[in-house]
Amino acid sequence: MYDFKPKLKVRGNFKYLMLYMLREGPLHGYEIIQRIKELVGGGYEPSPGIIYPTLQLLEDMDYIVSERVERKNVYHITNQGLEFLREHRDEVKPMIESIKAFREFISEIGLKPFLLIKEVVSSYNSLSEKQKEEVRISFMRFSGDLKRIMSDKYLR
């Protein structure tokens, strides 16, 4: 079965998100995961498999330092890390805005659109040709409606 999860535009830019979280103060890995989950609104939770290698990369780049506190590594952003974040604000700002828009979407609409797409994709091959055609027509109509609504937003 196809495993669909909403994707945020952070691939390749995760280091910016981590530094963005640490700019507010020191955190340990689990706290970073929870803060990102909070920022996104619960629609996404990064795995330790992306958090800890990214923390190691940032430490290797001297953008963060870690210290052992009560059996946990606590990470602090360095001045170099703050400067790197400032230098890349043109990448960071749109990413954070996109995440906040995603959070608002999820809070108002929920995950139903994503779950529906997952259901359609998972069962598409078992549909009859007539059902597939109806799905295509429905999605084309839906896409057209959304594009019209979005263009109306810019006309106001």
Domains in the chain: boundaries: 14-109, 112-155
Looking at residue 43, what is its pLDDT?
63
Write out the two tokens for 71. Answer: 């059996």
| Residue segments in the chain with a per-residue pLDDT below the cut of 70 | 1-12, 42-43, 152-156
Residue 14, SS3?
helix
User: How many CB atoms sit inside 10 A of residue 115's CB?
Assistant: 11
The yes or no reply on domain 14-109 and CATH 3.40.190.10 is: no
Q: What is the pLDDT of residues 16-44, one digit of tens each?
A: 999 999 999 999 999 999 999 888 876 67
Write out the two tokens for 48. Answer: 């330790």
| Sign of the alpha-carbon torsion through 125, 128, 130, 135 | negative
Q: Torsion-angle region of residue 61: left (phi > 0), alpha (psi -120 to 50) or beta?
A: alpha
Give Cβ neighbours of residue 23 (< 8 Å, ≥ 6 apart).
Answer: 77, 82, 85
